[in-house]
């Protein structure tokens, strides 16, 4: 619309100021209307939504001579008049760019180094596989040479213990041989120094200590052996193992909760940057928090849940901070009283844990696998005695894979339902227990059995997730079945203390925090989510969350623990602020959520989801079949270069799994191509995208993090991937909607998500990441976003839908804004 046709209306009779007039004109352009009142509410009166207002913010930024406006400003000041007044003192972007420090130039990379790095990484993996095969072969021969069943059993225990200790010691030995001590430095991507860094990182993150001894003093001993400086009485529950351990200093009595990230490094602009993370005594780091390099916390300091310290931030002694980037607060996140938990208790617990794993867990696993292989071989001889060698191998692989996949699946489901019910009476809600005792063992057993992700992936995004969670112990009745009540990822500590009220829908990545912990104690409490809520992606909901009925919790929103009970509103950001509960665009399909329309749509969705579950089971079983065939082929070729063949087969099993699942996902996407859409959750376009989420090879792709091979797999899945992109563990749910420019950097646990789902409305659009961009650790980029070349998004930031990030700018925060 030509600028001369704008009509700017001011009902209060006062003439709009210059900035108000320009804002009103730009908003009229975006809304495609003639008249914009400077006192009209953006959402209630003008019918705008967050995507429209993001486009408005982008147009304001492009003018250059106007004060910069962020989405947080829009929500807090939802009229032209109040917005103009609020940002009146903000420098125009053209002025800010002239005084802001320049972004450090990217470190150049070369194609030759890129290829050479990939070759060295492949050679390392083959060499590691060969050494492992040699050791396993020698151990198997020694165990089989036992003279009696008792001697074979004893040898199995000894061999398992030795193998376990060796695998645990390898990362420590390799780290000290290849690196020595880490110190603050920059490593050029794809260089020889980066190859050493990648080897150490891969070995540490794949160590069984990280999986089996999290939250115990054994894990602290392991980190100390890797060079970390950790005081007595520290408790680390996070499964995200730090890599640059010499950069980590933790004072006595500090507690770090699950899902917290403190790597000691980050990737940025063509390089790995390594820096210190320093935590004082009695520090608390909350759930799903991120500590960037060059951050510190003083004695007795706290960092809240879903929060982040950006590089250079320091929390003073005794202060409490939360948000992203963190800021001071009065909320107390360490709410459980201490208990008596001395050195003797910790020592006994660690000793028992060390004995149980090699003496019981590993022999049972190895013995069970041997029995399954022997049973499969016996069945082959009984059912097909005349089969040739190749046919017998295939039949044996089919039988073995069926026994392992469906047998273990059924046993796992029964254990997940039965064992926590037996253990439930031993844990009383709201009672404080000391760590490292009987009640702690019970609590950990319930939490670990309840965290099996296979079944939430199997039933999630369908009607069948509701009865599954009820079987686990969730209180969900009365249920308003939508077919999408919960996504594929739902985590909890105690399923019997989870209550989700009627009419509530949950996207992926929900963590229900039933437990509160200190460095000496824990207690479990009920977590209750009110009726008619909607929870977006990656929400951490603690016990005592101050939300009630009819609340929308946006993606990565921090749930408040203080103040009034929020009802009938939306909450966004960290720390959170109020936004409209819903907008007109999200209500256009409400007629499909009730009555006969709901019955028809839900029935059709259930049929589609049931077929998706069948495809999920079939493709997962076939992957196990491929692995079994490679394993048995190596076993049959024992006398023909057994070690070399077995090492190649072991390495191929990882590569084949990654390629296989990538091709499965791409093949299914080709049958129903993903396109930008706005539709109901009862539309086939949405069901096909749900299918891709369930069949996404995310867990298999992580084996290739930090290698050139990851980019090859992304391209196979449909990502328009540039040259020499560095991917340290990002997640891309809709690959065909993504474009990523040359030499961009995608950090650990980052996500590029081209969709959102609010209540019953699904929206998706394309996202473009320019050349040389950086997406920080645990940062999330939403749909419809464009990042200009060289732009940077800081750790744990949330770049909202529709944002247009100018080239070579630095953005940070939740929601993100230009810094």
The encoded tokens of residue 14 equal: 């006062």
Which residue numbers in the chain have pLDDT < 50? 1-8, 10-13, 95, 97-100
Q: Give Rg (Cα) of the chain.
A: 28
- What confidence score (pLDDT) does residue 648 get? 74
Asked if omega into 478 is within 30° of 0 (cis), the reply is: yes
Q: Do residues 427 and 442 make contact, with C-beta atoms less than 8 angstroms apart?
A: yes
CA within 13 Å, CB half, 55: 13
CA within 13 Å, CB half, 95: 8
Neighbours of 658 (CB within 10 A): 21
Q: Do residues 359 and 161 make contact, with C-beta atoms less than 8 angstroms apart?
A: yes
- Report how far residue 482's alpha carbon sits from residue 760's, in angstroms, rounded to the nearest whole number: 8
- What confidence score (pLDDT) does residue 637 get? 63
- What confidence score (pLDDT) does residue 408 get? 84
**From residue 27, how far is each of 66, 212, 581, 784 by CA, in Å?**
14, 55, 22, 19
Strands 498-500 and 527-529: parallel
H/E run at residue 547: none
DSSP state of 357: I
The encoded tokens of residue 184 equal: 């603050």
- What confidence score (pLDDT) does residue 492 get? 93
Angle of helix 408-423 versus helix 465-472 axis, rounded to 10: 40
- Report how far residue 248's alpha carbon sits from residue 227's, in angstroms, rounded to the nearest whole number: 8
- What confidence score (pLDDT) does residue 290 get? 96
- Report how far residue 795's alpha carbon sits from residue 808's, in angstroms, rounded to the nearest whole number: 17
The encoded tokens of residue 158 equal: 């000894």
Residues near 401 by beta carbon (within 8 Å), at least 6 away in sequence: 621, 624, 625, 627, 628
- What confidence score (pLDDT) does residue 3 get? 37
- Of the candidates 270, 796, 167, 279, which has an alpha carbon nearest to the alpha carbon of residue 519? 279
Burial 745-762 (b: 16+ CB within 10 A, else e): bbbbbbbbbbbbbbbbbb
Q: Do residues 494 and 464 make contact, with C-beta atoms less than 8 angstroms apart?
A: no
The encoded tokens of residue 544 equal: 């005592």
- Report how far residue 299's alpha carbon sits from residue 302's, in angstroms, rounded to the nearest whole number: 9
Strands 521-524 and 515-517: antiparallel
- What confidence score (pLDDT) does residue 383 get? 65
E strands, 66-223, are: 185-188
Determine phi and psi for 365, rounding to 5 degrees: -65, -50
- Report how far residue 61's alpha carbon sits from residue 69's, in angstroms, rounded to the nearest whole number: 7
Residues near 769 by beta carbon (within 8 Å), at least 6 away in sequence: 738, 739, 740, 741, 744, 752, 775, 781, 787
- Report how far residue 443's alpha carbon sits from residue 426's, in angstroms, rounded to the nearest whole number: 9
Determine phi and psi for 537, rounding to 5 degrees: -70, 145
The encoded tokens of residue 58 equal: 């982008």
- Report how far residue 615's alpha carbon sits from residue 612's, in angstroms, rounded to the nearest whole number: 5
Residues near 89 by beta carbon (within 8 Å), at least 6 away in sequence: 67
Phi and psi based region of residue 52 (left: phi greater than 0; alpha: psi -120 to 50; beta: remaining) = alpha
**DSSP string for 756-776:** EEETTEEEE--EEE-TT-EE-
By the 10 Å C-beta count (0-12 exposed, 13-18 middle, 19+ buried), 719 is classed as buried
Query: Taking the alpha carbons of 213, 214, 217, 221 in that order, is the dihedral positive or negative?
Result: positive
Determine phi and psi for 485, rounding to 5 degrees: -65, -35
Burial 552-587 (b: 16+ CB within 10 A, else e): bbbbbbbbbbeeeebeebbbbbbbbbebbbbbebbe
**β-bridge mates for residue 285, sequence order:** 256, 303
Strands 295-297 and 314-315: parallel
- What confidence score (pLDDT) does residue 776 get? 96
Residues near 364 by beta carbon (within 8 Å), at least 6 away in sequence: none
**β-bridge mates for residue 267, sequence order:** 272
- Report how far residue 277's alpha carbon sits from residue 294's, in angstroms, rounded to the nearest whole number: 6
In the sheet that holds 255-256, the strands lie side by side as 235-236, 255-256, 284-285, 302-303, 320-322, 327-329
- Report how far residue 625's alpha carbon sits from residue 74's, in angstroms, rounded to the nearest whole number: 54
Residues near 390 by beta carbon (within 8 Å), at least 6 away in sequence: none
E strands, 247-356, are: 248-250, 255-256, 265-268, 271-274, 277-279, 284-285, 290-291, 295-297, 302-303, 308-309, 314-315, 320-322, 327-329
DSSP state of 361: I
């Amino acid at each position: 619309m030509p600028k001369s046709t704008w009509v700017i209306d001011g009902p209060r009779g006062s003439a709009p100021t210059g900035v108000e007039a320009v804002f009103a004109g730009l908003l009229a352009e975006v809304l495609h209307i003639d008249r914009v009142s400077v006192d009209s509410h953006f959402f209630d009166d003008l019918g705008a939504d967050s995507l429209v207002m993001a486009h408005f913010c982008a147009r304001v930024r492009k003018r250059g001579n106007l004060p910069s406006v962020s989405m947080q400003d829009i929500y807090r000041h939802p009229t032209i008049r109040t917005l103009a007044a609020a940002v009146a003192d903000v420098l125009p972007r053209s002025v800010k760019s002239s005084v802001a420090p320049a972004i450090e130039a990217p470190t150049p990379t070369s194609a030759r180094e890129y290829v050479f790095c990939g070759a060295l990484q492949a050679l390392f993996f083959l060499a590691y596989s060969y050494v492992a095969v040699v050791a396993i072969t020698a151990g198997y021969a020694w165990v089989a040479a036992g003279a009696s069943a008792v001697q074979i059993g004893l040898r199995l225990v000894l061999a398992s213990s030795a193998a376990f200790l060796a695998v645990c010691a390898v990362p420590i030995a390799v780290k000290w041989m290849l690196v020595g001590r880490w110190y603050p430095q920059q490593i050029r991507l794809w260089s020889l120094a980066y190859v050493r860094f990648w080897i150490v990182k891969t070995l540490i993150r794949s160590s069984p200590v990280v999986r089996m001894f999290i939250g115990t003093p054994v894990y602290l001993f392991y980190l100390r052996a890797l060079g970390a400086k950790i005081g007595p009485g520290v408790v680390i529950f996070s499964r995200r193992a730090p890599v640059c351990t010499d950069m980590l200093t933790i004072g006595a009595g500090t507690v770090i909760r699950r899902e917290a990230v403190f790597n000691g490094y980050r990737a940025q602009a063509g390089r790995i940057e390594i820096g210190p993370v320093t935590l004082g005594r009695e520090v608390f780091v909350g759930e799903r928090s991120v500590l960037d390099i060059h951050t510190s916390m003083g004695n007795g300091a706290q960092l809240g849940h879903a929060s982040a310290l950006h590089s250079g931030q320091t929390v003073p002694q005794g202060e409490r901070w939360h948000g992203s980037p963190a800021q001071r607060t009065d909320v107390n996140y360490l709410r459980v009283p201490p208990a008596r938990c001395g050195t003797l208790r910790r020592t006994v617990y660690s000793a028992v844990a060390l004995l149980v794993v090699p003496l019981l867990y590993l022999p049972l696993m190895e013995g069970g696998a041997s029995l399954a292989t022997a049973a499969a071989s016996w069945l082959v001889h009984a059912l097909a005695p005349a089969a040739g060698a190749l046919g017998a191998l295939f039949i044996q692989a089919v039988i073995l894979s069926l026994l392992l996949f469906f047998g273990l699946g059924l046993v796992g489901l029964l254990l997940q339902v039965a064992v926590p019910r037996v253990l439930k009476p031993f844990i009383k809600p709201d009672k404080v227990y000391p760590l490292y005792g009987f009640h702690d063992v019970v609590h950990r057993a319930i939490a670990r059995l309840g965290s099996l992700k296979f079944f939430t992936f199997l039933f999630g995004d369908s009607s069948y997730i509701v009865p599954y969670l009820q079987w686990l112990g969730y209180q969900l009745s009365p249920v308003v079945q939508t077919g999408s009540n919960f996504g594929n990822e739902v985590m909890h500590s105690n399923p019997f203390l989870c209550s989700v009220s009627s009419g509530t829908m949950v996207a992926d990545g929900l963590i229900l925090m039933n437990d509160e912990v200190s460095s000496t104690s824990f207690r479990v409490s009920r977590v209750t989510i009110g009726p008619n809520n909607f929870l977006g992606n990656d929400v951490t909901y603690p016990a005592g969350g101050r939300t009630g009925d009819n609340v929308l919790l946006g993606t990565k929103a921090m749930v408040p623990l203080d103040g009034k009970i929020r009802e009938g509103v939306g909450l966004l950001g960290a720390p959170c602020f109020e936004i409209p509960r819903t907008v007109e665009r999200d209500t256009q399909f409400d007629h499909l959520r009730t009555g006969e329309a709901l019955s028809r749509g839900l029935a059709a969705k259930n049929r589609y989801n049931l077929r998706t579950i069948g495809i999920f089971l079939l493709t997962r079983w076939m992957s196990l079949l491929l692995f079994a065939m490679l394993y048995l082929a190596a076993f049959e070729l024992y006398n023909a270069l057994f070690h070399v063949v077995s090492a190649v087969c072991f390495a191929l099993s990882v590569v084949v799994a990654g390629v296989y699942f990538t091709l499965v996902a791409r093949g299914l996407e080709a049958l129903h191509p993903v396109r930008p859409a706005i539709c109901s959750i009862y539309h086939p376009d949405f069901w096909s995208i749900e299918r891709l989420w369930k069949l996404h090879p995310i867990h298999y792709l992580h084996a290739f993090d930090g290698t050139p091979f990851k980019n090859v797999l992304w391209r196979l899945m449909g990502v328009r991937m540039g040259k020499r992109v560095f991917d340290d563990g990002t997640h891309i749910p809709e690959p065909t909607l993504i474009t990523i420019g040359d030499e961009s950097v995608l950090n650990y646990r980052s996500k590029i998500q081209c969709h959102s789902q609010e209540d019953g409305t699904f929206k998706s659009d394309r996202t473009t990441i320019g050349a040389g961009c950086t997406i920080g650790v645990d940062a999330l980029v939403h749909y419809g976003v464009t990042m200009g070349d060289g732009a940077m998004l800081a750790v744990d930031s949330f770049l909202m839908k529709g944002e247009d990030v100018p080239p070579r700018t630095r953005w940070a925060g939740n929601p993100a804004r230009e810094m």
